[in-house]
Amino acid sequence: MKYNFDEPINRKNTNCEKWDNCIERFGKADLLPLWVADMDFKTPDFIINALKQRLEHEVLGYAIRPRSFYDSVKNWLQRRGWEIDTKKLSFSPGIVPAINFAVNVFTQPGDSILINTPVYHPFMYAVNNNGRRLLKNSLVNSGDGYYTIDFDDFETKLASGVKMFIFCSPHNPVGRVWTVEELDKIGELCLKYNVLVVSDEIHSDLVFRPNKHTYLASVSKDLAQQTITFIAPSKTFNTAGLYSSVVYSDNEELFGRFNKFVNNLSISQGTIFGDVAFEAAYTHGEDWLSQLLEYLNGNFEFVVDYLRNNIPQITTRKPEGTYLMWLDCSGLNMSSAQLHEFMVSAGLAMNPGRIFGDEGTLFMRLNAATTRANLQNAMKYLHNAMEKRKL
């Protein structure tokens, strides 16, 4: 079946955070939103149909998670080169909650936790809000928007007594898909300093050829014993509002401690709809996903070409993974506050890069998971704002 990602979907007035919350977050309602990390495409038919079919039963009492749910996760990961044991799969109503749970289960107040910055901002909140000490390993921008890990600094920080490293793979917002060599090095150092790795791999399906995602825990048996991995189909299949994700560790003790925590909170059951959508995604999602990736790749190419040809003051590159583009706006010669104001007055709601860390001060994050027509309009708005600036 051929899916049509060009189909415009009106999300306004649907209590949609991205489209209905601009006034609250940007002070203006009529903006083209390219911020919140969900997609403006329809959640695929095989998920919607599974949900409809479940609704037809018309009884929504307590449910259990069937064997087929666990098998869908196992098979999805197996097709991507990672063998897991479904007995060590735990559940969380979302990955941000799972990160917070892990911080509480595996560290104590005052413990140091390391992250790579810039990074998805809830990583910082999870450390700071739980009274842990935040250590940052700044990613290195090679100048053309390609980021790498400064392993000398990474090791120095680990050696200072870090208890946990929260890893974003693929990386939001810089769009890297980490290579096996990079993962090996991370693993080697975290094992050397006995640092637990919390690996957020929510974007692992959103990877563009020739890049290939490797699950950190699949790199070596030793590292698998020291890693807890979070995955979900919610970004890939646009089901973020259903709050359903899984947590895995090969290490019985890590799995057991995490699982006990979510069981004690009585949230491991999730919701009927979250489970149904999750299983349908990982059972039937391959064809839809490959068409989605092709469309997103076209979106990236459009934005990269448009900026290069029309607004060279803003530079970006095609992400290796995620549907998020990281725009270097330093060529506009504006302060961070002016940059934010400029984008809003252009008619665009994007995430200001500063929320992801100081390294992002002169960047904006653009969510490219929308129709090509929306992106064409966004680029037109930006171009008009640049022309006005010249006057």
169 scored as a contact of ligand PLP (CB under 6 A): no
Least distance between ligand PLP and beta carbon 197 (Å): 15
245 scored as a contact of ligand PLP (CB under 6 A): yes
What phi and psi, each to the nearest 5 degrees, are found at residue 176?
A: -80, 145
262 scored as a contact of ligand PLP (CB under 6 A): no
CA–CA separation, 356 vs 16, rounded Å? 23
Please identify, using beta-carbon distances, which residue of 95 and 382 lies nearer to ligand PLP: 95
200 scored as a contact of ligand PLP (CB under 6 A): yes
Tell which one of 89, 95, 246, 303 touches ligand PLP (CB under 6 A): 95
Sign of the CA dihedral with 159 first, then 164, 166, and 167 last: positive
137 scored as a contact of ligand PLP (CB under 6 A): no
Please identify, using beta-carbon distances, which residue of 359 and 379 lies nearer to ligand PLP: 359
Stretch of 18-26, 88-96, 297-305, 335-343 lying at the interface with ligand PLP (CB under 6 A): 88-96
Task: Using DSSP bridges, classify how beta strands 89-92 and 245-248 pair: parallel, antiparallel or unpaired.
Answer: antiparallel
CA–CA separation, 311 vs 346, rounded Å? 14
Tell which one of 69, 120, 167, 326 touches ligand PLP (CB under 6 A): 120
How many angstroms separate the Cα of 384 from the Cα of each of 328, 364, 379, 380?
Answer: 19, 18, 9, 6
35 scored as a contact of ligand PLP (CB under 6 A): no
If phi > 0 it is left, if psi is from -120 to 50 it is alpha, else beta; for residue 177 that is beta
Give the helix/strand (H/E) hosting 287.
helix 286-310
Please identify, using beta-carbon distances, which residue of 69 and 120 lies nearer to ligand PLP: 120
Task: Name the β-bridge partners of 198.
Answer: 166, 228
202 scored as a contact of ligand PLP (CB under 6 A): yes
Tell which one of 31, 34, 37, 349 touches ligand PLP (CB under 6 A): 37
Please identify, using beta-carbon distances, which residue of 100 and 249 lies nearer to ligand PLP: 100
Tell which one of 50, 103, 168, 177 touches ligand PLP (CB under 6 A): 168
96 scored as a contact of ligand PLP (CB under 6 A): yes
Nearest to 165 by CA among 226, 225, 210, 255: 226
Least distance between ligand PLP and beta carbon 262 (Å): 14
How many chain residues touch ligand PLP (CB under 6 A)? 13
Query: Which CB contacts under 8 angstroms, 24+ apart, belong to 379-385?
Result: 379/302, 379/303, 379/306, 379/307, 379/310, 379/311, 381/32, 381/346, 381/347, 381/348, 382/311, 382/314, 382/343, 382/346, 382/348, 383/310, 383/311, 384/346, 385/342, 385/345, 385/346, 385/347
In 176-200, which positions are buried (b, 16+ CB within 10 angstroms) versus exposed (e)?
A: bbbeeebbbbbbebbeebebbbbbb
261 scored as a contact of ligand PLP (CB under 6 A): no
Tell which one of 234, 259, 299, 316 touches ligand PLP (CB under 6 A): 234
Please identify, using beta-carbon distances, which residue of 198 and 346 lies nearer to ligand PLP: 198
Least distance between ligand PLP and beta carbon 152 (Å): 25
Please identify, using beta-carbon distances, which residue of 202 and 254 lies nearer to ligand PLP: 202
94 scored as a contact of ligand PLP (CB under 6 A): yes
232 scored as a contact of ligand PLP (CB under 6 A): yes
CA–CA separation, 57 vs 177, rounded Å? 42
Please identify, using beta-carbon distances, which residue of 198 and 280 lies nearer to ligand PLP: 198
Owner of token pair 């051929």: 2
285 scored as a contact of ligand PLP (CB under 6 A): no
Contact positions vs ligand PLP (CB under 6 A): 37, 94-96, 120, 168, 172, 200, 202, 232, 234, 240, 245
